[in-house]
Amino acid sequence: GETQGVLILKPACAFPPPVVAAFQRDGKPLPINRVKFDDGDLIISKISKDDHGYYECEVSNEVATVVRSTLLI
């Protein structure tokens, strides 16, 4: 079933500030209608069991490109 909640992923803190290139879950795009970005954070509303999986974010700035993964169980 669906539960009310929010998952917040902060991909990276850096200087100069990184640009978020892509967020995905299990290699697929995120559900646009439940996703928003706020100051570099990814916020997914209405978390449910179906949202489990590996979340991956690619960010980059002038210095480096970094990929960060998070597993939501």
Q: What is the pLDDT of residues 19-47, one digit of tens each?
A: 777 788 898 888 788 887 776 677 888 88
The number of C-alpha atoms within 13 Å of 25 and in the hemisphere containing its C-beta is 15
Handedness of CA 66, 11, 48, 32 (dihedral sign): negative
Average pLDDT, the chain: 79
Q: 16, exposed or middle or buried, with CB in 10 Å at 0-12, 13-18, 19+?
A: exposed
Rounded CA-CA distance 73/61 in Å is 30
Taking the complete model, does pTM exceed 0.85, yes or no?
no
